[in-house]
Chains A and B, each alone.
Chain A
Amino acid sequence: MAKITASVYTSHVPAIGAALDLGKSSEPYWQPVFKGYEFSKQWMKDNKPDVVFLVYNDHATAFSLEMIPTFAIGTAAQFTPADEGWGPRPVPTVIGHPELAAHIAQSVIQDDFDLTIVNKMDVDHGLTVPLSLMCGQPEAWPCPVIPFAVNVVQYPVPSGRRCFNLGQAIRKAVESFDQDLKVHIWGTGGMSHQLQGPRAGLINREFDNAFLDRLIADPADLSAVPHIDYVREAGSEGIELVMWLIARGAMADVNGGPAPTVKHRFYHVPASNTAVGHLILENT
Chain B
Amino acid sequence: MALHKPYTDVPGTTIFDAEQSRRGYHLNQFCMSLMKAENRARFKAGERAYLDEWAMTEEQKQAVLARDLNWCIRLGGNIYFLAKIGATDGKSFQQMAGSMTGMSEEEYRDMMISGGRSADGNRYVGEDGNAQAQHQPQGKAGHKKASA
Residues of A that sit less than 8 Å from B by CB: 14-15, 29, 59-61, 64-66, 83-86, 153-156, 192, 194-205, 207, 226-228, 231-233, 236-237, 269-270, 272-273, 275
Contact = CB atoms under 8 A, between A and B. Distances in A.
A153 B17 contact: no
Interface of B: 6-7, 10-18, 21, 25, 28-29, 31-32, 34-35, 37, 40, 69-70, 73, 78-81, 83-84, 86-88, 92-94, 96-98, 100-102, 108, 111-113, 115-119, 122-124, 131, 133, 136, 138
Given A194-B13, A196-B14, A201-B108, A233 B123 contact: yes
18 contacts: A59-B80, A64-B81, A65-B21, A65-B29, A83-B35, A84-B84, A153-B80, A155-B7, A195-B96, A196-B79, A198-B70, A198-B136, A199-B11, A200-B101, A204-B118, A232-B123, A273-B93, A273-B94
Contact of A64 (B12, B32, B87): B32
B112 A272 contact: yes
Contacts of B32: 60, 64-65
Given A65-B29, A202-B117, A270-B113, 9 more contacts: A59-B83, A60-B32, A64-B29, A66-B29, A155-B15, A156-B17, A199-B12, A202-B131, A232-B10
Contacts of B10: 199, 231-232, 236
Given A60-B32, A201-B97, A232-B123, A195 B13 contact: no
Given A15-B94, A60-B81, A155-B18, A201 B116 contact: yes
Nearest to A57: B80
B84 A60 contact: yes
Given A199-B12, A231-B10, A64 B116 contact: no
Given A196-B79, A273-B97, A233 B28 contact: no
Contacts of A155: 7, 15-18
Nearest to B37: A83
Given A85-B35, A228-B6, A236-B15, A154 B21 contact: yes
User: Closest 4 A-B residue pairs measured CB to CB?
Assistant: A203-B116, A85-B87, A199-B12, A198-B12
A61 B81 CA distance: 9
Contacts of A201: 97-98, 101, 108, 111-112, 116-117
B147 to A, nearest CB: 20
Given A84-B35, A197-B13, A202-B122, A269 B115 contact: yes
